Amino acid sequence: MARAGEGDRTAWQALYARHRNRVFAIARRFLGEDAAARDVTQEVFISFFAHARTYRPSASFLAFLRRVTVNRCINARAEAFAARREPGSDEALRQVVDEHPDPERRLEQEQTAAAVHAALAALPPRQRLAVVLSRFEGLSYQEIAAALDCSISSVESLLFRARQALARALSG
Amino acid sequence: MRCRKARKLLSLRMDECLSTRHAAALELHLAGCAACSLAAEQFDRAWVALAHLAPPGPAPDDWTAIEAGVAARRRPWLPAWLDLDLVPTRATAAALFVGMAIIGGAGGLLIGRALPPTHVEPAETQLVAETLGDLPWNSPASGLEPALYARREAHP
């Protein structure tokens, strides 16, 4: 990190190689679209490297990176919403886990995945981020609170409401 | 325990963040509440169903685009050799401050030497003189005037 702060390109490249998959995974799960997630990943690293000299670590670098990613994701979604573009519904269907070659089973699985994707996409942004960070990134309440810049009780509430909405959507 | 409270605790239990006391109270509630038991099942099922989403693939390597993006973020109106990243900002600011302090101090000294010294009467003398000036000519206090001038000569 110290070398990255001094503008060492090799250190930048090493940081990028080490963390890009994690940033991309959060953005991809939140935005539901590869192209948008790729844009967010680039934007996160560009803004970090452009201001690396002024970076003062107050928590772990990973926590900082998560927080920047979360903010960029929310911005990207707001921009997509402003442009009236609903990201990723077709792509999500194409990316269903294809474990069963049996056509009937595969169709059933595709339908389930589509329903899950739709339920997740229908959640408000902060609830969706809380689900992504908890369910897929395996973060604790404290880490999620740091990423979303809110209290632990807010995280509890976000996850509770998200679970209620998901259960309602998927049990109907 | 009310059902709403029980459902909040269900969410906490799924994240293994429930105290033993609350867990016991929740179990007791679930044993007697069919609606909350159903909600618990639905919560679990929905959470498990999220696994049906395909895991995101590896991030594409966009290092070249990122380098170009970082270069574009730099101030385009600065010539390349004066890239601000190469200038240690704090050291430059400190040097500027010290330089300005030296120039200001030296200038003050030179101006102080160039101007003739001004004689300032002590405050007491000025006050008495002003008071006497306001008094009528034959006032008893005006008798102090010679003493005042004598003092002024003794302490120029």
Evaluate whether residue B15 is within a structural domain.
yes
What pLDDT does A150 receive?
92
Q: Taking CB atoms and an 8 Å limit, are A53 and B85 in contact across chains? A: yes
- The predicted model scores a pTM of 0.66
**Total structural domains within chain B:** 2
Q: Helix, strand or coil for residue B34?
A: helix
pLDDT digits (tens, 9 = 90+) for A135-161: 888 888 999 999 898 999 999 999 999
Evaluate whether residue B78 is within a structural domain.
no
pLDDT average, residue stretch B73-96: 67
B80: confidence class by pLDDT, cuts 50, 70, 90? low
pLDDT average, residue stretch B34-54: 87
**Using CA atoms, how far apart are residues B126 and B134, in angstroms rounded to an integer?**
13
Model confidence at B97: pLDDT above 70: yes
Q: For residue B13, which amino acid is it? A: R
Which residues of B are less than 8 Å from A135 in CB distance? 47, 50
Q: Kindly list the structural domains of chain A, giving each domain's residue range(s) and its CATH number in brackets, ordered by start.
A: 1-88 (1.10.1740.10), 101-172 (1.10.10.10)
State which residues form the domain around B140. 123-154
Residues in chain A with pLDDT values less than 70: 1-2, 4-7, 57-58, 83-101, 172
Task: Kindly report the average pLDDT of chain B as a whole number.
Answer: 78
Evaluate whether residue B34 is within a structural domain.
yes
Chain A interface mutation, best of B53, B75, B92, highest count of A Cβ atoms under 10 Å: B53
The interface predicted TM-score of the complex, written ipTM, equals 0.74
Evaluate whether residue B135 is within a structural domain.
yes
Answer whether B54 touches A (CB < 8 Å).
yes
What pLDDT does A90 receive?
46
A119 to chain B, closest Cα gap in Å:
10
Evaluate whether residue B20 is within a structural domain.
yes
Evaluate whether residue B71 is within a structural domain.
no
User: A71-103 as b/e, with b when 16 or more CB fall inside 10 Å?
Assistant: bbbbebbeebeeeeeebbeebbeebbeeeeeee
- According to DSSP H, which parts of chain A are helical? 2-5, 9-31, 34-50, 61-82, 89-94, 103-121, 125-131, 141-148, 152-171
Q: Taking CB atoms and an 8 Å limit, are A171 and B46 in contact across chains? A: yes
**Using CA atoms, how far apart are residues B42 and A166, in angstroms rounded to an integer?**
9
pLDDT average, residue stretch B85-102: 80
Q: Within 13 Å of residue A13, how many CA atoms lie on the same side as its CB?
A: 8
What pLDDT does A64 receive?
87
